[in-house]
Structure 1
Amino acid sequence: MSEAQLTSPVGVDAVVVSAPAAGAGTFWRRLRAQRAALCAAAVAGLLVLFALTAPLLILLEGADSTTYHPELVDSARGGVPIGSFGGASGSHWLGVEPQTGRDLFARLAEGAQVSLGVALGATLIQVAVGVSVGLAAGLGNRWVDQLFDRLTDVVIALPLVVMALAMLAVVPEDFPRPLLVALIIGLVAWGTIAKIVRAQTIALKSLDYVAAARLSGWNTWRIARRELLPGLAAPVLTYSALLFPVNVVIESALSFLGVGVKAPTASWGQMLAAADVWYQAAPQYLLLPAGLLFTAVLALTVLGDGVRTALDPRAAGRLRVGTRAGQGPAAPAPAADTAPRKEGAV
């Protein structure tokens, strides 16, 4: 691929395409070279496994996330769990919730499913809508480009919390709340990825191989599918990897503010909202969801940064100072002969 430089719009990092995107083998080799990314991938994998096996783990514990256990809390002390470590026992591995007595491990496991599932669903919606709008804007004529570009600007300017409140006012109460939160995030926050795809499409469609495909009689859809989408894979995957942990935080923030997932459905943000008054009497009720949320966001962010580095097409061309391409350290240049020559010497 010929060298092409893409300068993103305001608020989007610049992307420079100077070589074809890394293949699968090159990508994995570069990713394995980053120890922090590998550790983050292991932690993220454990969290995903925890979320996927949540029903089995809850069944193994023998509890559920909705049953109240008033006999396990001390009503005279305001509902503090009875026993040490929040009432932890063989029947309740991490103790119980204050006031309600609901099993804390079951709610954390269900919260992992909800928080990670909502973030994943929102990311997929953002990628689908953003890539579609960005491609349409980049491949359309001047009027189509201006229309979609102005639409994208409007979407970027929309306040997420206000839109969430507006949608919650018109959506029926029986509509699944996790799905609604994923739709809200996905349909409101796709503007940045649309800007990235539009700018990358404009840069790619001016290259020789795209012009050759157009002269061969290919229609716009075939050119987009066969020529442009492979070139868009690296920036889209890079941004998606960094967008996923952001969506985890957004879901938790919406649930914490009371406009996201609500009880009895558990999510880490909703648990934090209910635990803010128990940090002294039952600190594990606050620390456990906060610790899982912090670990998930940190691991996913580090992994996303590792994916960005591994997909960077400039990584193959970077050279260490004092080295030559394909060779070891550069040999030192021979020192200049500064000794005085004898008169008549050759």
Structure 2
Amino acid sequence: MSEAVLAVEAPGVSAPGASGARQFWRRLRTQRAALVAAVVVALLVLVALAAPLLTAIEGQDPTTYHPSLVDSARGGVPIGSFGGVSAEHWLGVEPQTGRDLFARLVYGARVSLGVALAATVVQVVIGVVVGVAAALGNQWVDQLLSRITDVIVAMPLMIMSLALLAIVPSSFPRPVLVALVIGLIAWGNIAKIVRAQTLTLKELDYVSAARLSGWGSWRVARRELLPGIAAPVITYAALLVPTNITVEAALSFLGVGVKPPTPSWGQMLTAADVWYQAAPQYLLLPAGALFVTVLALTVLGDGVRTALDPRAASRLRVGTGRKREAKA
């Protein structure tokens, strides 16, 4: 079939290509909150990637103990003001061990962001494959995959994660294990979204024309359907990342996530629950980092959703115009 027939654009679905990318960036630039969130996320990623360089500049590392910097007579409280803040230890030291807090915080960003992003990739890959296969398969395939998806959605994420992480040998790399467990348990919702979107797109003229031309199901999916479902998948994935960061922190807080001495924000919070009075910065620093990261990613995800959905932007403009007319 000719490309002209196959390029018929579905209502409400932006055609992929350079023009679509330009429209996306133009809409995203109009949202100041999303731009600020994007800058914050970029800085967090940069800090995580540059953790070895930053700690080398400080002259510390996240695992070395400094017993001389804590007061053993008081139970291990850091010596000095603000938890031992100094030129050698920019954010102070950890109670009892004397490990450098700045080094553990920036290395913890690598673990928390890395686990969340890896888990999101696993969720998206499984969800897209299952959703597209269910929509393109026959009735039996659709029913089977839909029932499996329903079971996955019904599973309590935290309970299943706790059970799986508790029985896996400790020799398995813990950050990789946490990412796999989260990804393998929480892909159901994105599979449902992809299935519903694919069922809608497969009835459109340009997809029907491609199928009538003799293309196989997977070629149709790769060339025609995947570009059409990219917007909702990207939107949902952007909102999954902060959720996965929270889940990783919760699992580490409960003691089944990332294990010491590997630093993690959730693990730092676990140890900080008994030190919040004697050394409050030990609790406030990882908690603040988690709050800022989750908030920035959530705002950015909402901005991506609005930029990828022209109908949402149109509704916003129409609503604003009506309010202005009412005020006039």
| Shared fold per TM-score greater than 0.5 | yes
**Aligned residues, how many?**
313
Residue in structure 2 matched with residue 341 of structure 1 by the alignment: none
Residue in structure 2 matched with residue 320 of structure 1 by the alignment: 318
1:1-346 mapped onto 2 (5 Å cutoff): 1-3=9-11, 17=12, 20=15, 23-315=20-312, 317-318=314-315, 319-320=317-318
Kept after mapping to 2: 8 A contact 1:122/1:185: yes
Mapped partners of 1:49, 1:296: distance in 2: 13
Mapped partners of 1:147, 1:102: distance in 2: 52
Mapped partners of 2:222, 2:277: distance in 1: 57
Mapped partners of 1:137, 1:82: distance in 2: 61
Mapped partners of 1:226, 1:320: distance in 2: 34
Q: Please, which runs of 5 or more residues in structure 2 have no aligned partner?
A: 1-8
Kept after mapping to 2: 8 A contact 1:181/1:260: yes
CA 1:322/1:265 → structure 2, altered by over 3 Å: closer, same or farther?
closer
Measured against aligned partners, the alpha-carbon deviations of 1:142-198 in whole angstroms (never above 9, x if no partner) come to 110000000001111112233223323442211110000000000000000000000
CA-based RMSD: 1.9
Q: Please, which runs of 5 or more residues in structure 1 have no aligned partner?
A: 4-16, 331-346
The one-letter code sitting in structure 2 at the alignment partner of 1:262 is K
Deviates more, 1:86-95 or 1:156-165: 156-165
The one-letter code sitting in structure 2 at the alignment partner of 1:67 is T
Measured against aligned partners, the alpha-carbon deviations of 1:83-120 in whole angstroms (never above 9, x if no partner) come to 00111111111110001111111100110000000000
Kept after mapping to 2: 8 A contact 1:108/1:268: yes
Mapped partners of 1:85, 1:169: distance in 2: 37
Give the CA deviation at 1:20.
4.5
Give the CA deviation at 1:258.
1.0
Kept after mapping to 2: 8 A contact 1:255/1:262: yes
Mapped partners of 1:116, 1:2: distance in 2: 36
Kept after mapping to 2: 8 A contact 1:69/1:101: yes
Measured against aligned partners, the alpha-carbon deviations of 1:50-96 in whole angstroms (never above 9, x if no partner) come to 10100111111111111111111001111100000111111111110
CA 1:323/1:182 → structure 2, altered by over 3 Å: closer, same or farther?
closer
Deviates more, 1:310-319 or 1:94-103: 310-319
Measured against aligned partners, the alpha-carbon deviations of 1:124-155 in whole angstroms (never above 9, x if no partner) come to 00000000000000100111000000000111
Give the CA deviation at 1:279.
0.8
The one-letter code sitting in structure 1 at the alignment partner of 2:38 is A
Mapped partners of 1:87, 1:66: distance in 2: 17
Kept after mapping to 1: 8 A contact 2:128/2:194: yes
TM-score (norm 1): 0.87
Q: Secondary structure at the match of 1:320?
A: helix
Kept after mapping to 1: 8 A contact 2:166/2:256: no
Give the CA deviation at 1:315.
4.3
Q: Secondary structure at the match of 1:287?
A: helix
Kept after mapping to 2: 8 A contact 1:19/1:314: no
Mapped partners of 2:24, 2:256: distance in 1: 39
Q: Secondary structure at the match of 1:23?
A: helix
